[in-house]
Amino acid sequence: MTASHLMMKIMNIFFFSVTLFHLLINPALSLPLCTDSTAPLPSKTPLVFCNYNGSSCCDSSVDSNIQKQFESMNVSQPACASVLKSILCSRCDPFSAELFTIKTVARQVPVLCNSTGSSSNSFCETVWDTCQNVSITNSPFSPSNSSNKLTDIWQSRSDFCNAIGGPSVNDSICFNGQKVSPNITTNSTKSTPTGMCLEKIGNSSYLDMVPHTDGSSRAYFSNQKGQIWLATIPEVGSGRGLVLDESNPFLDLTDEVHFDTLFGLMSIALHPNFAQNGRFFASFNCDKTQTPSCAGRCACNSDVNCDPSKLTSDTAAQPCQYQTVVAEYTVNGTASSRASVIPTVSPVEVRRIFTMGLPSSAHHAGQILFGPNDGYLYLMMGDGDTGDPYNFAQNKKSLLGKIMRFDVDTVPSESEISSLGLWGNYSIPRDNPYAEDKDLLPEIWALGVMNPWRCSFDSERPSYFMCGDVGQNSYEEVNIITKNGNYGWRVYEGTSVYTPEESPGGNTSMSSINPIFPVMGYKHTDLSKNEGSAAITGGFFYRSTTDPCLYGSYLFGDLYAHNMWAGVETPENSGTFTMTNITFSCAKDSPVPCDLVPGSEVPALGYLFSFAQDNNKDVYLLSSSGVYRIVPPSRCGYTCAYESRTEGSTPAPTSPSGSSANMLKGSCKSLLLLLLLFIGLGY
């Protein structure tokens, strides 16, 4: 066989693979989002022109602009004018992000439903039949500003609908002339899990865990004192424990980290390209009286109506003595190596990303993580003090009580740092909310949170950015975080109005904000074992096949490890969750024996610090008593009808998105193996 014939064969296989790949893709519906990635909210005043009252992506100002755009089109034919009005107003639809964005490319008009092969006309065909010969000034279908007819641009209805339309199928969203009603389904085949089975793989206590970006079984573990280790995680069911040399940390920051009950190394994050560039990030607290490089601007300042000299912190000997820091470190080329030798890194910072002085010892969160789609670094920041007396969370000029978003790949210029008043060495993503709301500090992505403790992106639906937010007196909540979302604190705690004990920083009126209320949560009085303490620990959507009855559930718990929950979205992609208090126990054959709560079969977790997820999507619990992993339910005697024990057993249920993802993963592997086989055989 000649080289040209071989190349032709390879190309044929490649194009066949790509075609099959596209046929197998069945994208999951996104959460309702607007074109600017914000959540749809109720308009303070009714919309006059567009019939999208209730939660929508338009306010009265946008509604007025759409009306002016419509009137400028000078459409004289009533039927055509009616469909064009609905098309323009579709920008107000709660699902407009899906309607106007295809593969991240923005459109001027929404995807029109095009029911190819249907006996009845689709909406796209209706638009063509109604408007094809009508003159439209400043037509949204044309990039030019001249008077245009559809027939001036497209030769036929099929050409028009191929360009403007999209299929009306179960897992796609298109515009049919009315408010979008996505084809969402319930998980009718999914049973409620009877329990969560855990195995213990380590005795040490860690606060954070992130998997290596090379796709291996390795992960980084960090403790609150400031030490970080690179460990190898054993396979589920192997009977082995965590492989980690505690005498040989990957990175030791104990000389720089201020460690106390509420202070320490709070979080670690790997750059998305860490396996290639070795960029490693840590979020920790320091004491400026002990570490000269620690000092940064105080979060309490005149810009936010806060006088540092009047702070009455219960621990700080001086205002903003303790700081929140995000720093970058670099690992040499061995970071990407799969060799058994564990690399180490010098604790000398490569770059100080962010430093901010804390007004007190409470509520400073500190988690960092990279967005899976945008590659930006997110920093979760609490309100800074019990009860948020200075109302920082609602103050747009304060970074407290916020979720921030940084570009750490672009080094800012001195002029950018000065003009934007940056708090460190980072750039601002161009689509951060300050671009539309000039009152916001440029770092802010979302506001109105109290103390976000552990957030995560759903690995199958990255638009689901979930955060557990610790409550004050009565309620712990789970929020879906969206761009410029305001989560209500301290006007609200959960859905209830909150009355502060003191408010030297003033108050925010209910009428001045559009709060996004939690999708799940629990009252302190609802805990099965309430000892006067409660604090939520946010978790992950469970996407592993290890426990098929947990698949698709959002798992979270309480810091005091008395309770854990599985939240199921019903219908899927609706944003409506039902949460179930889930029992948990330890497998009898756990690699490391579990200590039990006296008089019970419940493992004594101690404090539940964090949940974590590895490259196989298995979920871990990091507690004060050790490291635990979720394993097949049968190992604890729990029943799951979908757990495969023998060949021919009932397969695990999956959501539409999960089914597609699993099919896609399997198909990609099969296609790759097929391609390698063909090449190996000389085709």
Residue ranges in the chain modelled with pLDDT below 50: 1-29, 118-119, 188-189, 315-316, 333-341, 646-683
Q: Do 460 and 341 share a structural domain?
A: yes
Which residues are registered as beta bridge partners of 629? 199, 620
CB-CB neighbours of 421 under 10 Å: 12
- In-domain check, residue 593: yes
**In a 3-state reduction of DSSP, which class is residue 357?**
strand
Length of the chain: 683
* pLDDT score, position 32: 86
* pLDDT score, position 24: 32
Q: Do 367 and 252 share a structural domain?
A: yes
* pLDDT score, position 188: 45
Residue given tokens 């213990």 in the structure block? 200
* pLDDT score, position 656: 38
Q: Do 313 and 266 share a structural domain?
A: yes
Question: Which residue from 392, 505, 506, 372 is spatially nearest to 444, judged by alpha carbons?
Answer: 392
Q: Do 525 and 441 share a structural domain?
A: yes
Q: Do 226 and 208 share a structural domain?
A: yes
Rounded CA-CA distance 676/659 in Å is 26
- In-domain check, residue 543: yes
Kindly state the tokens that stand for 611: 């949940």
Domain final residue pick, 120, 151, 166 = 166
- In-domain check, residue 651: no
Q: What is the CA radius of gyration of the chain?
A: 27
16: domain range? Answer: 1-24+656-683
Q: Do 680 and 601 share a structural domain?
A: no
CA distance readout (Å), 285 to 159, 300, 305: 60, 17, 24
Q: For the domain that residue 459 is a member of, what is the CATH number?
A: 2.120.10.30
Q: Do 506 and 595 share a structural domain?
A: yes
- Report pTM: 0.84
Q: Do 578 and 673 share a structural domain?
A: no
State which amino acid sits at residue 660.
S
Angle at 271 between CA 270 and CA 273, to 5 degrees: 120
Q: Do 65 and 155 share a structural domain?
A: yes
Domain final residue pick, 114, 146, 166 = 166
What is the pairing mode between strands 112-113 and 165-166? parallel
N-term to C-term CA, the chain:
8
Sheet holding 564-569, edge to edge: 536-541, 554-558, 564-569, 577-581
Q: Do 257 and 136 share a structural domain?
A: no
- In-domain check, residue 178: no
* pLDDT score, position 98: 87
- Element (DSSP H or E) covering residue 673: helix 656-680
* pLDDT score, position 54: 86
DSSP H helical segments within 280-413, as ranges? none
Contact 536, 638 (CB under 8 A): no
Q: Do 93 and 7 share a structural domain?
A: no
Q: Do 516 and 535 share a structural domain?
A: yes
* pLDDT score, position 442: 98
* pLDDT score, position 105: 65
Kindly state the tokens that stand for 334: 């061995």
Rounded CA-CA distance 366/334 in Å is 28
- Total structural domains within the chain: 3
Contact partners, residue 509, CB within 8 Å, separation at least 6: 491
Q: How far is CA 328 from the centre of its chain?
A: 22
What is the pairing mode between strands 368-370 and 377-381? antiparallel
Domain final residue pick, 166, 188, 209 = 166
CB-CB neighbours of 538 under 10 Å: 26
